[in-house]
Amino acid sequence: MGYVDEVLEQVKVKNAAEPEFIQAVTEVLNSIRPVVDANEEKYRKEAILERIVEPDRQIKFRVPWVDDKGQAHVNIGYRVQYNNAIGPYKGGLRLHPSVYLGIIKFLGFEQIFKNSLTGLPIGGGKGGSDFDPKGKSDREVMAFCQSFMSELYKYIGADEDVPAGDIGTGAREIGYMFGMYKKLNGTYEGVLTGKGLSYGGSLARTEATGYGLLYITDALLKDHGDSLNGKTIVVSGAGNVAIYAIQKAQQLGGKVVTCSDSTGWIYDPEGIDVALLKEVKEVKRARLTEYAAARKSAEYHEGKGVWTIKCDVALPCATQNELDIDDAKTLVSNGVKVVAEGANMPTTLEATEYLQKNNIFFLPGKASNAGGVATSALEMSQNSERLSWTFEEVDGKLKGIMENIYKNISEAAKKYGREGDYVCGANIAGFEKVAEAMLAQGIC
Ligand code: NDP
């Protein structure tokens, strides 16, 4: 059995109850085979793969908080500090009832390679809790965030581990957590990113993941003599990533006709009205039924369905495994040209393989949604300098970073004889840099 298969077997045995983690490791290890084969002796001797699949540490803690009626609740908090070979741990905090250790590990593992791809000095980590902010009052969310930080603060720091937002963790939650960190630690430092503009946040961070997704999609299309102009685009999700992906797609001349949330989806053949979507989701925190009620051209459907709409470009921006093999078949038969992941691992392994076999350009999330973490790293730089850059400056750097990621993943795929396989290119380019740093730093 080859080195990759041996390590994959060990991962499956040791983490049998964590299917999302196994899925992420399987995708990465399978696609870096050409590099591992070329360096097998050295990697084996130094146990590079065994070390990279095992987090540096996993922190799990109790988060007690009291609701508005005086009732106490207990949630579980997590922080997985995965790998800091190239910089301080960096990755978001997910607040969603589906969160358990396996989800945080899959996200943290992916984050190592994503962060490496940005070209910036950031390691990989992830955290979160099974707390659901939906339907909670601001005071309840504050109570949870303060309790969560009263444990987490022991393990993070501007040069150590810098968490950020993710599903369920937006500006409100980051604000409450930052306030508590400052109070407990007694320092004013860039320990979290995604902060408000009045206290160290970066312009363009809110837009960054969605904008970055469109910058890299545009770079790919241009490389193939095409552009986003006039393309019909379907987007899933209606959160931070989806909203700003829709906005930038429209600015680049595309027509976005769908969005979705966890209960239903919108088909709006005249194009999504971003201002209305922001009002419904960012201000009212309401369901998409309110969007449909306010817009004549929109149809609302219960459940899942955005991938049934005929399109040129599909952008999954909601959550993991939301685009399966049946969806992939529908997209292909409807003539899709590009699938670019805004969310983390939204496409199942089977669906990814099907899309690639059918010559669809497929951009994996670790490359295509890296704009968020890249801009978080730019927020860290501004905090260290105690300066704030303009929106145009940050946005310009983001565009450059995304174009560079496209170039690097494309070249890495070519170098190993896999031209056009951006999954392989992204994993190889991300892995090579981290592996080199780990080898240079010895067994630790
Ligand atoms: P948000 O919480 O802002 O939005 C998530 C959206 O996805 C919401 O519309 C939500 O619906 C929907 N959703 C969540 N869970 C499910 C589910 N199980 N089934 C169907 N729909 C669901 O999160 P973000 O936009 O920040 O994140 C979206 C994805 O992008 C995640 O995978 C995240 O890890 C990834 N990502 C985010 C980055 C960022 O900067 N924010 C950076 C890189 C990746 P509802 O409104 O009903 O909850």
Cα gap 227→245, rounded to integer Å: 16
Among protein residues, the one with the nearest Cα to ligand 1's atom 3 is: 239
**Helix residue ranges, H only, 169-239:** 171-185, 205-223
What tens digit of pLDDT does each residue of 23-80 get?
999 999 999 999 999 999 999 999 999 999 999 999 999 999 999 999 999 999 999 9
Distance from the alpha carbon of residue 6 to the mean position of ligand 1, in angstroms? 34
Q: Which atom of ligand 1 is nearest to the CA of 107?
A: 34
Tell me if 86 sits within 8 A of 434, measured CB to CB: yes
Residue from 126, 131, 261 whose mutation best tests the ligand 1 pocket (most atoms within 8 A of CB): 261
The pair of three-digit structure tokens given for residue 120, joined into one six-digit string: 């910036």
Contacts for 31 with CB less than 8 Å, ≥ 6 apart: 421, 423, 424, 427, 428
Strand partners, 99: none
Among protein residues, the one with the nearest Cα to ligand 1's atom 5 is: 239
Among protein residues, the one with the nearest Cα to ligand 1's atom 15 is: 319
Among protein residues, the one with the nearest Cα to ligand 1's atom 23 is: 167
Among protein residues, the one with the nearest Cα to ligand 1's atom 41 is: 166
**Residue with structure tokens 């409807």?**
334
Q: Which atom of ligand 1 is nearest to the CA of 369?
A: 43
What tens digit of pLDDT does each residue of 178-189 get?
999 999 999 999
pTM: 0.94
pLDDT value for 1: 83
Cα gap 112→288, rounded to integer Å: 34
Residue 82 clears pLDDT 90, i.e. is over it: yes
- The model's confidence at residue 22, banded by pLDDT at 50, 70 and 90, is very high
Q: Which of 257, 26, 121 is nearest to 246 (CA)?
A: 257
Ligand 1 pocket, Cβ-based, cut-off 6 angstroms: 165-168, 209, 237-242, 261-263, 317-319, 342-344, 369, 372
Cα gap 342→68, rounded to integer Å: 35
Strand 258-260 to 255-256 pairing: unpaired
Cα gap 164→108, rounded to integer Å: 12
Does the active-site annotation cover 126? yes
Cα gap 35→29, rounded to integer Å: 10
Distance from the alpha carbon of residue 173 to the mean position of ligand 1, in angstroms? 15
What tens digit of pLDDT does each residue of 210-265 get?
999 999 999 999 999 999 999 999 999 999 999 999 999 999 999 999 999 999 99
Distance from the alpha carbon of residue 210 to the mean position of ligand 1, in angstroms? 11
The pair of three-digit structure tokens given for residue 174, joined into one six-digit string: 């980051």
| Mean pLDDT confidence for 272-277 | 98
- Across 177-206, b (16+ Cβ under 10 Å) vs e yields bbebbbeeeeeebbbbbbbeeeebbbbbbb
Residue 342: strand, helix, or coil: coil
Among protein residues, the one with the nearest Cα to ligand 1's atom 16 is: 262
Q: Which atom of ligand 1 is nearest to the CA of 165?
A: 41
Residue from 23, 93, 262, 265 whose mutation best tests the ligand 1 pocket (most atoms within 8 A of CB): 262
Choosing from 126, 231, 304, 366, the catalytic residue is: 126
pLDDT value for 273: 98
Distance from the alpha carbon of residue 283 to the mean position of ligand 1, in angstroms? 16
pLDDT value for 332: 98
Cα gap 129→95, rounded to integer Å: 5
Q: Which atom of ligand 1 is nearest to the CA of 208?
A: 40
| Mean pLDDT confidence for 417-427 | 96
The pair of three-digit structure tokens given for residue 206, joined into one six-digit string: 């809110």
Q: Which atom of ligand 1 is nearest to the CA of 319?
A: 32
Distance from the alpha carbon of residue 166 to the mean position of ligand 1, in angstroms? 7
Cα gap 81→163, rounded to integer Å: 10
Give the orientation angle of helix 101-117 with respect to helix 391-415, to 10 degrees: 90
Contacts for 20 with CB less than 8 Å, ≥ 6 apart: 102, 103, 106, 320, 321, 345
The pair of three-digit structure tokens given for residue 302, joined into one six-digit string: 């219960």
Among protein residues, the one with the nearest Cα to ligand 1's atom 10 is: 261
What tens digit of pLDDT does each residue of 108-146 get?
999 999 999 999 999 999 999 999 999 999 999 999 999
Distance from the alpha carbon of residue 211 to the mean position of ligand 1, in angstroms? 15
Tell me if 242 sits within 8 A of 318, measured CB to CB: yes
Burial class (CB in 10 A: 0-12, 13-18, 19+), 403: middle
Distance from the alpha carbon of residue 108 to the mean position of ligand 1, in angstroms? 16
